[in-house]
Chain A
């Protein structure tokens, strides 16, 4: 057997980055809950995992730093040092340096100089006399290799592990369930049995005394030392037994029944109910199929392979759509019922296959949100502000590519919220607000897409100042009186900033236009609202994925177009009384006391022979950052999922068009970018008004 070392190293770096993320998130939580031992355990385990892999691959700088961190965390755990704000800062800065060392190691470059500085700081933070213990731990830990050694290919073995927590474990702040979970994560748990024999009657049960014990049969490539390491923080007060059931090199044996050689007090429950054999459990717990009933193991797949698979499914969707369309034509001529049923079944299966493949690329948006607690903390400190971050909906899933691309725009919005939005503690006090400001990030599913909001309870946007600045820059005519929404939309103009001084954080006049461009590149939209003195809200709407979207197929003249369904609020055929022409604002549709500008798609797209009477055509209302806009179309043909093909790859980018697709009847249809079309029409309208105004002045 040969091992591809570069692949293993790649895997190590990926996991090291994940562990680093865990360390940072957990350290931030630990700052607020310094007595939470489980949080401390998590940081320790993450550092330890990185150290183990580093040692295996000979990444000495990484090993040195993680070892030093681990020593400090040991002292924290043992109460030798306390988690002061200074120490929390040092630990967080150490994770920053650790991240930089991971990157430099991956790229084969020398480590950043900061590694020596931070190592020196860790040494200073370590009380004299405590190093000896740390050195002993180093000895012990150096034999623990959680990564398969390239010299000695990993061997899968089966262990029997008994864990009988001491009665006082709960009082020490430990949860044995989490220890058992960590153990299970080391490999494949073939059998997990909870021993309840010591459990007294309900009336006599002391809720703070632990009566349970566990036994697990675990198949793993990890060493016995790795297994024992899981119990590092509970071993003093618990009974731990680790037995190898099959020696290395021999075929795996079936796990022995739990009662065979189990030492007391474990193994009184009936055996053979491990994680892998829990199919019967979901029906009782949840009343139906549960996603976790399947194996909890994961496989890392190169995203390129996934993309190719998705392309292929896209082609299958198109082919299926063609078959269905042809079938509909044949059916009218009297087709065989069996053929019709077969096509319907294939249609269902294709749809399910598509959904499942798309789901593979879905990741929780929390992976982006994770960076913000640290950012808000550090920025607030550097600006002398106090702000808390509240995150909701971090489990909302989006396409992996979208999650990666939305990270920078969101980062910019959060930075802006701290820098521009939240006031200083003195200002907030004077305004009758709590000294600590709140920034909220909320993600929710809405209408087949995802809405992400970044809100703050700060000073809000200075509307008059924006207007003054916009007039100065010539973005608004001196005598124009834009609406509040139009003024808010000005912050997305290129180079616009109301901040007089440039700070390290923001206020350079670049950013919001880039944020908007980036969001729109994802076929999303961004809107801004603000309440002076009370705060601001940025609202981003995104489709779930860019590969396949739900769309409305529309006819304009003889052309068929697709409009992303996420953009469409409603559609209607206006009555004569609803259709009006407003001086200076052009054609509008009156809907529930609102005048919605009407945009004739046939004019915007240059399509001949379209219906020109709005009351005989249809209007699709779409949201834009400033106002809803009605798009005039001849007919709505239906709703369909369409595979998005980019024009840039095969042709070039076209303003107002986000891509093309192949319809079921084989025709190619352009997918419209309603936001861009509305923007373009608005600009053209303003230019026309400006020329008209100039003409009037000349006359």
Chain B
């Protein structure tokens, strides 16, 4: 497992790789703290993520809580299908993104009306 933190001009990226489980949670927490202590929104890049357990989830939830407390946001990108399925069915997926749901887009045209 590895966790990388990269600064960009607009956000910090926490890149998760391999198995993010209880054995890796301490390192993830340090990487998450590093992101939390910088400025701007944080993106959690999950393309290389193979496994995520509840210990990993709660670190991400704690990061989200910290960021939202400071008026910042956490975005989660490219969650692999297998991990996504587990997050979805256990409610963890929603907990991770719940308060950042965008407002529904209003229909602005009358297209389709007859």
Contact = CB atoms under 8 A, between A and B. Distances in A.
Contacts of A296: 85, 88-89
B89 A192 contact: yes
B79 A199 contact: no
A85 interface: no
Interface stretch (B9-17, B19-27, B106-114): B19-27
A484 interface: no
A369 B61 CA distance: 37
A176 interface: yes
A247 interface: no
A67 to B, nearest CB: 30
B90 A184 contact: yes
Contact of A212 (B54, B63, B97): B54
B61 to A, nearest CB: 5
Contact of A214 (B25, B63, B90): B90
A177 B25 contact: no
A293 interface: yes
A196 B59 contact: no
A270 B98 contact: yes
B3 to A, nearest CB: 12
B81 A292 contact: yes
A123 B66 CA distance: 55
Interface string B28-54: 110011001000000000000000111
Given A199-B65, A285-B97, A287-B78, A275 B86 contact: no
Nearest to A170: B22
A69 to B, nearest CB: 28
Contact of B58 (A211, A270, A281): A211
Interface stretch (A200-208, A397-405, A467-475, A670-678): A200-208
Given A175-B54, A208-B22, A290-B84, A203 B91 contact: no
A278 interface: yes
Contact of B25 (A208, A278, A284, A287): A208
B55 interface: yes
Interface residues of A, number: 47
Contacts of A205: 29, 58-59, 62
Contacts of A638: none
A189 B89 CA distance: 8
Main secondary structure of the interface of B (DSSP, over half): helix
Interface in A149-193: 165, 170-171, 175-178, 180-181, 184, 189, 192-193
Contact of B88 (A170, A211, A275): A275
Given A199-B58, A202-B63, A284-B76, A177 B90 contact: yes
Interface string A277-297: 010111111110011110010
A269 interface: yes
Contacts of A216: 91
Nearest to A203: B33
Contacts of A178: 53, 86
Contact of B36 (A184, A202, A275, A283): A202
B58 A210 contact: yes
Contacts of A202: 29, 32-33, 36, 59, 62-63, 65-66
Contacts of A210: 54-55, 58
Interface of B: 21-22, 25-26, 28-29, 32-33, 36, 52-55, 57-59, 61-63, 65-66, 75-79, 81, 84-95, 97-98, 100-102
Given A199-B58, A205-B29, A290-B81, 7 more contacts: A177-B86, A184-B90, A194-B90, A202-B65, A210-B58, A282-B84, A286-B78
A-B pairs with the 9 shortest C-beta distances? A192-B91, A207-B25, A273-B94, A194-B95, A180-B90, A202-B62, A175-B53, A170-B22, A284-B97
17 contacts: A170-B22, A175-B21, A177-B90, A178-B86, A196-B95, A201-B62, A202-B62, A205-B59, A214-B90, A269-B94, A270-B98, A275-B91, A278-B94, A281-B94, A284-B75, A284-B100, A287-B77
